[in-house]
Amino acid sequence: MRLSYFTGNWPDLSWDAHCELAESMGLQSLELCYSPTEARSILDGAERQQFLRHLGDRKLAVSCVTVSLPTDGGSRNTSLKNAADSILLASALHAPYVCLDMPAAGAEDEERCAGMISELLPLAESEGVILLVETKGVFSDTSRLCRLLDRFASDHLAALWNFLNPYALINESADRTIQNLGAYVKHVRVSDSETMGPDLRPCLVGEGVVPMAEMADALRSIDYSGTLSLDFTAGKDGLNDPDIVLPHYVNVISRFIKVRERGDKYFENKRGTGKFIWPKDELLELTFSQVLDRLCEEFPDQYAFRYTTLDYTRTYAEFREDVDRFARSLVAQGVKAGDKVAAWATNVPQWYIAFWATVKIGAVLVTVNTAYKIREAEYLLRQADVHTLVMIDGYRDSDYVSIVKELCPELEYTPSDKPLHCKRLPFLRHIVTVSSRQKGCLTWDEALALSDRVPVEEVHRRAALVRYDDVCNMQYTSGTTGFPKGVMLTHYNIVNNGKCIGDRMDLSTADRMMIHVPMFHCFGMVLAMTASMTHSVTMSPLPYFSPKSALTCIGQERITCFHGVPTMFIAMLEHKDFNPDDFSHMRTGIMAGSPCPVAVMRDVVEKMHMSEITIVFGQTEASPGCTMSSTDDPLDVRVATVGRALPQIECKIVDPETGEDLPDNVTGEFVARGYNIMKGYYKMPGATAAAIDKDGWLHTGDLACRTPEGNYRITGRLKDMIIRGGENIYPKEIEEFLYTHPKIKDVQVIGVPSAAYGEEIMASVILKDGAALTEQEVKDFVHASMAKHKVPSYVDFVAEFPMNAAGKILKYRMREDAVIKFGLQKAASIETA
């Protein structure tokens, strides 16, 4: 927030003198009291540039122009002329607001105020100025002021909150004021009184009845980042010396509110080439919309998006405009706080807009896997109680249009601008199609046109009501065992996990991130998008992964970082267009999803110049990151471990049977606790209780051990662990050994049914190009260096592993295929205790 004062407090000073006074007090802006003489000299042009230079030299801005408007009939024309001049003056001085100081003492005056507003609004709109009505007179009752503002529903009409009047005159709490006005509050005046009631006795700020701490909390609740302007009237003692009053004001306000100083220091990255806003490793109590507002305040002209395959380039300020417009559309479609909006699309611009718009108004963005077919889509849309679906036409072999037509035959006769009532999806009301026109669905452009029905102030009002601990996203787990579960994640979960990951990557305004990992997964939404946007990074998304498109993007945009699973890095390294020179700006990124062979990691570091590449480990229920390596960790640490715990997250290894803590170098279950843990599974309290124990520890089901240095080594999954004749066998151990074979490119080890031993080991192997190996040679290789019971009984040579759209290897599918391929149906049918 920035400090200012109302120049009407000391009317004998010229505006130039006020500038000198404000600078000497370390203030950042002035609230000008309209003066016809000085205003005319500026409007005539003679003094405008000189006064603007005067402001600029002192790093001051004009926050507001206030004009007194008596509402009695005799002076009405003069009042309107002065108000019009004030609007023109504000526009000339780049001031965003004009306060209409109207003495609304009763209902009759209230109607006169409304009439004057009606006459002035067209000029304000044309000049890009917002008119403010102060909380005074009858409008000290802010519910009454809210009704007045709602009558106009204009983006160019808002409220000036004077702390004193609602509280001291009608005993209205700050909490009630904010609930009534919310985002209508655009400018704040600070004053105080020794008494409550109609006979106010002005006094120095902080020495009267106004509860400054409560007022500060109320402003923080709407993430107010505007101006606090002192409105001071001399009391009985006659004290009116600005050299006493202003320093006192600054000192008192600074106790309750963090005041932005001119030229606030940003934080620099390690190389001194870029900046970021928030200190590293500290958690933010901010919603996504508050994060975006701060980015627009600090770096409005920084590019947020630069697509190379689609026509979409936006600065952060321009992106927020797109977000606000679609948020207004969602409100027009009937979306309310807590409602579910599903995004079924690749990394197209509309996905990002839909996400930020949805969470801004307090609704929940539900991500839909792009590979889903009808059974999976119906389950998710129904289980999540989705209200609005935003979708492209399809992806690869999934035809989304055909799927929704089959699920919702009611689309055939439902007008696109009317709510849908679908028997199979009872909560679904609207479908927005990004790529085509379909019966019963709104096109993207038609949806945007609905925004004209809703003023942006309504979006701001709703945004002000959103809390940082509200759920903003639901992601569905892969469902390898049973039906998928909807993981409820809050603003606090995701914003901070993305921020802390970006902190450890040392992201800043100097970075340009290519994003080709899918946004429906935490890998894209948190590790890429949120990590980027909490550090003012420029993003270049690709709708889907293509090694050729990725290589083009890297060279064209001089990309400094990107994420991927090992197979993505391998595909790029082996592509015919790969040119190490295009990676000259590359620095960092994240490799996750599956183990990375040492040779591949070495190529990524050396050939792609990703010397600061990192590893992240976690799961969706943890937002997702729990541990992460550092950019300066030795390469062997980044390959052999998943790093140490992220800031303010507790991690430990426990015995899966007893729950007791285990010492270093002993394998057990990895558990985590902290700000990042999900709120729970949607409509599945039993599953939530099974995942998070009474002490708040998330049981991940991953097997791991901790090194004495504090890094974690993942050894497998509890459910992946192979039990062969009573021997516990960890697949990862065998996989890591097989990676050392010079002819093996990739490998996955799983357990398959055995009538004699319960389970046997199968190794699924991808060979390097041109290489040849036999099953026996693989077995001999393992037997030469590992215990006999760790030698695979089966070796399956494949061209690729089955994966979901997020790049996650589907081991359950591999088991199903192996049962058929090796004739193990009888062993698979044996029931065990």
> For residue 131, is pLDDT > 60?
yes
Same domain? 665 vs 747: no
* Whether pTM exceeds 0.85: no
Structural domain contains residue 569: no
Residue in the structure block whose two tokens are 């901010």: 286
Structural domain contains residue 51: yes
> Domain of 677: which CATH number?
2.30.38.10
Identity at 23, one-letter amino acid code: E
Compute the distance between CA of residue 191 and CA of residue 17 in angstroms, rounded to an integer. 22
Name which residue leads in pLDDT, 765 or 813: 765
Compute the distance between CA of residue 338 and CA of residue 685 in angstroms, rounded to an integer. 18
The domain boundary, picked from 418, 446, 466, lies at: 466
Structural domain contains residue 767: yes
The domain boundary, picked from 256, 272, 304, lies at: 256
Secondary structure (DSSP) of 195-233: S-SSS--B--TTSSS--HHHHHHHHHHTT--SEEEE---
Structural domain contains residue 221: yes
Pair type for strands 588-591 and 185-190: unpaired
**Residue 313 structure tokens:** 């380039």
Helix (H, G, I), strand (E, B) or coil at 98: strand
Same domain? 116 vs 198: yes
- Which tens digit of pLDDT belongs to each residue from 595-627? 677 788 899 999 999 999 999 999 999 999 999
The number of folded domains in the chain is 4
Secondary structure (DSSP) of 274-312: -EESSPTT------HHHHHHHHHHH-TTSEEEE-SSSS-
Same domain? 76 vs 127: yes
> For residue 728, is pLDDT > 80?
no
Position 179 scores a pLDDT of 85
**Residue 210 structure tokens:** 């106004």
Residue in the structure block whose two tokens are 């003679």: 46
Same domain? 354 vs 327: yes
Compute the distance between CA of residue 655 and CA of residue 670 in angstroms, rounded to an integer. 9
Pair type for strands 430-433 and 442-443: parallel
- Which tens digit of pLDDT belongs to each residue from 77-127? 888 888 898 898 888 888 889 998 876 556 667 788 888 899 999 999 888
> Residue 360: enclosing H or E segment and its boundaries?
helix 349-360
**Residue 237 structure tokens:** 């003692």
> Domain of 154: which CATH number?
3.20.20.150
Enumerate residues 6+ apart whose C-beta is below 8 A from 339.
363, 364, 387, 388
- Taking alpha carbons only, the member of 175, 123, 186 closest to residue 149 is 186
Structural domain contains residue 267: no
Structural domain contains residue 632: no
Same domain? 398 vs 460: yes
Same domain? 386 vs 443: yes
Contact 300, 509 (CB under 8 A): no
> Residue 715: enclosing H or E segment and its boundaries?
strand 712-717
- Which tens digit of pLDDT belongs to each residue from 173-204? 888 898 888 878 999 999 888 888 888 888 88
Contact 213, 227 (CB under 8 A): no
Contact 288, 490 (CB under 8 A): no
> For residue 479, is pLDDT > 60?
no
> For residue 44, is pLDDT > 60?
yes
Q: 704: domain range?
A: 642-719
Position 262 scores a pLDDT of 44
Position 365 scores a pLDDT of 98
> For residue 477, is pLDDT > 80?
yes
Same domain? 224 vs 84: yes
- Which tens digit of pLDDT belongs to each residue from 795-807? 999 999 998 766 6
Same domain? 646 vs 689: yes
Contact 591, 565 (CB under 8 A): yes
Structural domain contains residue 620: no
Compute the distance between CA of residue 786 and CA of residue 562 in angstroms, rounded to an integer. 37
Structural domain contains residue 196: yes
Using a 10 angstrom Cβ sphere, with 0-12 exposed, 13-18 middle and 19 or more buried, the burial of residue 122 is exposed
> Domain of 430: which CATH number?
3.40.50.980
CB atoms within 10 A of CB 618: 28
Give the mean pLDDT of 402-416: 96
Position 23 scores a pLDDT of 85
Same domain? 411 vs 343: yes
- Which tens digit of pLDDT belongs to each residue from 491-520? 999 999 999 999 999 999 999 999 999 999
- Which tens digit of pLDDT belongs to each residue from 138-168? 888 999 999 999 888 788 899 999 888 898 8
Same domain? 298 vs 231: no
Position 594 scores a pLDDT of 67
> For residue 264, is pLDDT > 70?
no
In the predicted model, what is the mean pLDDT of the chain? 89
Pair type for strands 744-754 and 649-654: unpaired
Same domain? 777 vs 752: yes
Same domain? 343 vs 221: no
- Which tens digit of pLDDT belongs to each residue from 526-578? 999 999 999 999 999 999 999 999 999 999 999 999 999 888 999 999 999 99
Q: Tell me which of 53-67, 276-290, 819-833 is least confident.
A: 819-833
